[in-house]
A and B are shown apart, each in its own frame.
Chain A
């Protein structure tokens, strides 16, 4: 009996077999490469954390440098008390979306620089225009002065919103203060030439990247505000 290759039954069986075969091949590849991929993603995260403290590791030395500079990492809650868990494994995206700030787990990375000073690195996560934006800000041990910042994005417009990842934008944060006369005010991002309504320190947004710039502002506000108690303790400790 000749097989009718144009019949519906043949077509359906053909495509089912094909899809199952391709699916099995993909599942196998994914499983066998998973470990390496996770390793790469972690190394990239470490690179970003270090970048916020102005450390640029050489290629292939990211993990070594991370272990060298990041001397401690822990999680705090919104009252500033340490809670159990591994800071590196905290999903900052999920935490930033938890509306109840009191229930957030807040990772802190302590970075000890070559000159012996400690910097506190806090992760932030928010939304830009086209997709997520995230970053890390590093603070001096007084819990108020910004030492550096690193921002990254998934798909902001090149030349406009995407400029947030450039040093020209993130370097503006250096030396700004989060505490003003004992009040906690995260840094604002405003249009060039304007000033924020409050008393907080501010940086200039990116011309043509207004929504991304505003996204950075609200990301800092949303993600840094829960750290207030922790940073306040830091600032009183060092005084």
Chain B
């Protein structure tokens, strides 16, 4: 723990070099499920940022008191509590979105990114860097979600945030929405394309 932590790196690494989705390939299941439309993708991203940042801070504050043999349970209790609070808030203030996200908000609890960050970072670092790490990783996750959601909604429904963006004359000339984009497999393929572009731009990430 003696090593000096570079706050900037802690915050910005998860955006690209160490992105939880496209580099560590964590949290893929929710990427498949909630990205058919941009709005739920954005809300899911924000929810993960909030839960990850606060659970990181709480675990970091408690880190010296947690008995090692139940540390995973303690992490789960904290995460589960925060997730339920987020779920309740969504039900009260964004009912339609919470209906679309349904079980996936609850499944943030089992999102591997959370457990990974708590175990790998918050257990060994002070609250402030843990907070940055949480927000950074949450953003890294949210960015990918929004990119995937953008392409899937644009090509699958011709809309963005529910507003029609592809003009009517395109449809008049025979353009049709690609129904496959709305189905889960296309999320995987879009994520794969993002990984492809990302790796070809970052040579040091390429495996032999």
Give the B-binding residues of A (Cβ under 8 A). Answer: 5-6, 10-11, 14-15, 18-19, 22, 25-26, 29-30, 33, 36-37, 40-41, 43-44, 159
One of B43-51, B77-85, B123-131 at the interface:
B77-85
Task: Report how far A29 CA is from B8 CA in the complex, Å.
Answer: 34
Contact A11 B67, beta carbon cutoff 8 Å:
yes
Contact A25 B81, beta carbon cutoff 8 Å:
yes
Which A residue sits closest to B95, measured CB to CB? A40
Q: Of residues 117 to 152 in B, which have CB atoms within 8 Å of A's CB atoms? A: none
Contact B81 A10, beta carbon cutoff 8 Å:
no
Task: Report how far A222 CA is from B92 CA in the complex, Å.
Answer: 34
Give the A-binding residues of B (Cβ under 8 A). Answer: 65-70, 73-74, 77-78, 80-81, 84-85, 88-89, 91-93, 95, 99, 183
Name 19 interchain pairs, CB-CB below 8 A, sorted by A: A6-B69, A11-B70, A14-B65, A15-B74, A18-B77, A18-B78, A19-B77, A22-B80, A25-B81, A26-B81, A26-B84, A26-B85, A30-B88, A36-B93, A40-B91, A40-B92, A40-B95, A43-B95, A44-B95
A13 to B: closest C-beta gap in Å? 10
- Tell me which of A22, A37, A159 contacts B81 (CB under 8 A): A22
Q: A19-B77, A22-B77 are in contact. Are A6 and B67 (CB under 8 A)?
A: yes
Contact A33 B91, beta carbon cutoff 8 Å:
yes
A135 to B: closest C-beta gap in Å? 16
- Tell me which of B70, B74, B91 contacts A37 (CB under 8 A): B91
Q: A18-B77, A25-B81 are in contact. Are A37 and B88 (CB under 8 A)?
A: yes
Residues in A with CB closer than 8 Å to B65 are 5, 14
Residues in B with CB closer than 8 Å to A5 are 65, 67-68
Contact A33 B88, beta carbon cutoff 8 Å:
yes
Residues in B with CB closer than 8 Å to A18 are 74, 77-78
Which B residue sits closest to A11, measured CB to CB? B67
Q: Chain B's interface: helix, strand, loop or mixed, by majority?
A: helix
Contact A33 B67, beta carbon cutoff 8 Å:
no
Residues in A with CB closer than 8 Å to B81 are 22, 25-26
- Tell me which of A6, A33, A44, A159 contacts B89 (CB under 8 A): A33
Task: Report how far A41 CA is from B84 CA in the complex, Å.
Answer: 18
Which A residue sits closest to B94, measured CB to CB? A40
Task: Report how far A235 CA is from B81 CA in the complex, Å.
Answer: 55
Task: Report how far A18 CA is from B67 CA in the complex, Å.
Answer: 12
Task: Report how far A44 CA is from B95 CA in the complex, Å.
Answer: 9
Residues in B with CB closer than 8 Å to A19 are 77
Task: Report how far A43 CA is from B94 CA in the complex, Å.
Answer: 13
Which B residue sits closest to A36, measured CB to CB? B92
A60 to B: closest C-beta gap in Å? 11
Contact A33 B92, beta carbon cutoff 8 Å:
yes
Task: Report how far A29 CA is from B91 CA in the complex, Å.
Answer: 12
Q: A6-B69, A19-B77 are in contact. List 13 more A-B contacts (CB 8 A).
A: A5-B67, A5-B68, A6-B67, A6-B68, A11-B67, A11-B69, A11-B70, A14-B74, A18-B78, A29-B84, A29-B88, A37-B88, A40-B91
Which A residue sits closest to B67, measured CB to CB? A11
Contact B70 A15, beta carbon cutoff 8 Å:
yes
Residues in B with CB closer than 8 Å to A15 are 70, 73-74, 77
Which A residue sits closest to B78, measured CB to CB? A22
A233 to B: closest C-beta gap in Å? 37
